[in-house]
């Protein structure tokens, strides 16, 4: 970047000299302005590159806002950067290549005025999917025009899925960003038990205090204390931040108490399909009602399949421990099941008779037909009735 020392105006500078950014994206040149009138800023040598790794929407937005503020503070004219959002989608490399080409075009183009361009790439993890894409990305990040910045958003961490599998870290993409002088910002959504301490810390950072039990109740109402892996946690911090702002407006001074949370924070009823199946097996009516809405909102065949696996395991454990009188460890080995979940099922099996398990499984056959559109009956009322019939 070129900085002008002395009283010369910007318009005079543009008129008197021919400053240009060379096509190889490596150096600025000036043909007429004396060298003594240029001031070199070493900060512009280091590329402003950030990898926001994680699925937490609030932390991602705050990371972007922090970088944008830094760009505005460092800009000679004090201008805010233009935020340009790109999105890499799809499973193949074709869309990622197109996004990479667009990123290269925009990142290598410098602006005459303002604070440069802040390019935010959602699905940035796809740009590191293959060796060719990583090579192209490295070239793109190395040819950025001064004043521009890039944020790659990789939201694969802790993405909801049946196995709770997720990358252990930013991997090769993170190493690429660091090699180019960039940084990796962890943006992992809170696991069970992590949101309540974060609420307390955030309130303190804002100059307020919230009671520990109030923060814990808020986290519970938002759904953060559900431990099953099929829960989308990406928006929990953002929701908690909004609720905390609301509480601080309602309670302008002093400690925010539990009663305020009871009165002002709604229970969102965020549930888990896995927790719903566990509640069915445990014949726990309150937990069934808590997670029923999530089960109703999922595709019927998937819900039936999940419930059938759970009831089948219950029937096998019931047969081995209750009817045959075998120890849980022996039954678990016979079923090739880990002893801990087998023990939980054995505890639940005491609440069931063999004929009740058989009737529940027969009811699942009828539910499966309804879920697949056999007949005029609606899926939601049918699942609700079947669930209610399993409560002891």
Is the four-CA dihedral 346, 351, 353, 355 of positive or negative sign?
negative
For residue 76, the SS3 value is coil
Q: Say what the pLDDT of residue 318 is.
A: 92
* Among the listed residues 158, 137, 134, the one whose alpha carbon sits nearest the alpha carbon of residue 59: 158
Residues 74 and 80: their CA atoms lie apart, in Å, by: 10
- Assigned fold of 45-186: Rossmann fold (3.40.50)
Cα end-to-end distance, the chain, whole Å: 74
Q: Say what the pLDDT of residue 19 is.
A: 33
Residues 152 and 126: their CA atoms lie apart, in Å, by: 10
CATH number of the 273-389 domain: 1.20.272.10
Is the four-CA dihedral 298, 303, 306, 311 of positive or negative sign?
positive
> pTM value?
0.66
Beta strands 28-30 and 19-21, pairing class: antiparallel
Tens-level pLDDT at each residue, the chain (392 residues): 333 333 333 333 233 333 333 333 333 333 333 333 333 333 333 448 999 998 899 999 999 999 988 888 887 666 788 899 998 876 555 588 889 999 999 998 877 666 688 999 998 888 888 888 989 999 999 888 888 999 999 987 554 444 444 556 788 888 999 988 899 999 989 988 999 999 999 999 999 999 999 999 999 989 888 887 777 888 899 999 999 999 999 999 999 999 999 999 988 767 788 889 999 999 998 888 888 888 888 888 999 999 999 999 999 999 999 999 999 999 999 999 998 889 999 999 999 999 999 999 999 998 988 888 765 568 888 899 999 998 86
Beta strands 209-210 and 19-21, pairing class: unpaired
Judge: domain 195-264, CATH 3.40.220.10.
no
Number of other residues whose CB lies within 10 A of the CB of residue 10:
12
H-helix or E-strand containing 360?
helix 354-371
Q: For residue 118, what are the CA distances in angstroms to 87, 106, 109?
A: 14, 10, 12
Q: Say what the pLDDT of residue 28 is.
A: 32
Residues 359 and 379: their CA atoms lie apart, in Å, by: 19
Q: Where are the domains of the chain?
A: 1-40, 45-186, 195-264, 273-389
SS3 content of the chain, % helix, strand, coil (to 5): 55, 10, 35
Q: Are 247 and 260 within 8 A, CB to CB?
A: yes
For residue 228, the SS3 value is coil
- Residue 120, judged by CB atoms within 10 A of its CB (0-12, 13-18, 19+), counts as buried
Q: Which residues pair with 120 in a beta bridge?
A: 85, 151
For residue 214, the SS3 value is helix
């Amino acid at each position: 970047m070129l900085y002008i020392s002395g009283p010369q105006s910007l318009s005079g500078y543009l008129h008197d000299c021919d400053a240009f950014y060379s096509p190889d994206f490596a150096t600025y040149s000036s043909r007429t302005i004396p060298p003594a009138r240029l001031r070199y800023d070493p900060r512009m040598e280091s590329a402003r590159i950030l990898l926001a790794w994680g699925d937490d929407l609030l932390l991602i937005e705050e990371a972007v806002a922090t970088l944008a503020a830094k760009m505005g503070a460092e800009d000679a004219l004090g201008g805010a950067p233009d935020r340009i959002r790109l999105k890499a989608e799809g499973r193949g490399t074709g869309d990622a290549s197109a996004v990479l080409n667009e990123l290269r075009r925009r990142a290598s183009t410098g602006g005459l005025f303002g604070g440069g361009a802040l390019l935010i790439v959602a699905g940035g993890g796809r740009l590191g999917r293959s060796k060719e894409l990583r090579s192209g990305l490295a070239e793109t990040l190395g040819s950025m025009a001064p004043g521009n910045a890039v944020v790659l958003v990789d939201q694969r961490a802790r993405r909801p899925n049946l196995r709770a599998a997720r990358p252990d870290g930013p991997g090769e993409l993170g190493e690429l960003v660091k090699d180019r002088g960039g940084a990796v910002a962890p943006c992992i959504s809170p696991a069970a038990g992590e949101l309540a301490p974060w609420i307390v810390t955030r309130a303190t950072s804002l100059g307020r205090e919230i009671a520990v039990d109030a923060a814990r109740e808020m986290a519970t109402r938002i759904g953060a204390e559900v431990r099953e892996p099929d829960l989308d946690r990406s928006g929990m911090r953002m929701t908690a931040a909004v609720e905390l702002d609301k509480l601080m407006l309602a309670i302008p001074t002093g400690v925010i108490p539990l009663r305020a949370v009871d009165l002002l924070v709604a229970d969102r009823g965020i549930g888990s399909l896995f927790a719903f199946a566990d509640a069915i097996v445990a014949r726990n009516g309150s937990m069934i009602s808590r997670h029923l809405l999530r089960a109703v909102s999922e595709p019927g065949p998937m819900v039936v399949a999940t419930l059938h696996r759970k009831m089948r395991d219950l029937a096998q454990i019931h047969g081995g421990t209750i009817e045959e009188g075998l120890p849980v460890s022996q039954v678990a080995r016979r079923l090739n099941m880990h002893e801990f979940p087998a023990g939980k099922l054995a505890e639940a099996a005491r609440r069931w008779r063999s004929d009740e398990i058989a009737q529940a499984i027969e009811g699942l056959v009828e539910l499966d037909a309804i879920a697949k559109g056999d007949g005029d009956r609606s899926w939601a009322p049918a699942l609700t009735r079947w669930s209610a019939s399993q409560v002891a």
